[in-house]
């Protein structure tokens, strides 16, 4: 869906450029839309190092949730396949992953 026009008729490219330059000369801040928050959309504007860090934070939080789930498991499910799967997730050592610092890439990070 196209954006609504500001005036009665659409501006030409030269008029739009002149308006942009006048706004920059007047000190008007440049407003950029925030990056999309939908995880299905490629992480626009976030470096690989930032995405690595965010993923580790999410993984650590998930592991803590699984620990809480395992602790709250009723006694009749302690020897079930569910308990074994939860225990396997809880036993994962994430300290090796947290110690990794991804390389910086070509001045973009």
Q: Which residue from 53, 47, 59 is spatially nearest to 92, judged by alpha carbons?
A: 59
For the segment 82-100, the average pLDDT, to the nearest whole number, is 93
Q: What is the pLDDT of residue 60?
A: 94
What is the tens place of the pLDDT at every residue in 27-84?
888 777 776 666 666 655 677 888 888 899 999 999 999 999 999 999 999 999 999 9
- Alpha carbon of residue 108 to chain centroid: 17
For the segment 1-23, the average pLDDT, to the nearest whole number, is 83
Of the listed ranges 6-10, 25-29, 76-80, 94-98, the one predicted with least confidence? 6-10
Q: What's this model's pTM, rounded to 2 decimal places? A: 0.55
């Amino acid at each position: 869906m196209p954006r609504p026009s500001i005036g009665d008729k659409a501006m030409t490219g030269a008029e739009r450029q002149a308006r942009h330059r006048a706004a920059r000369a007047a000190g008007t801040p440049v407003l950029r839309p925030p990056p999309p928050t939908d995880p299905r959309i490629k992480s626009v504007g976030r470096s690989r190092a930032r995405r690595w860090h965010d993923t580790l934070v999410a993984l650590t939080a998930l592991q803590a949730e699984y620990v809480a789930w395992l602790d709250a498991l009723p006694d009749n499910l302690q020897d079930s396949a569910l308990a074994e799967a939860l225990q396997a997730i809880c036993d994962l050592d994430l300290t090796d992953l947290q110690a990794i610092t991804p390389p910086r890439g070509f001045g973009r990070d």
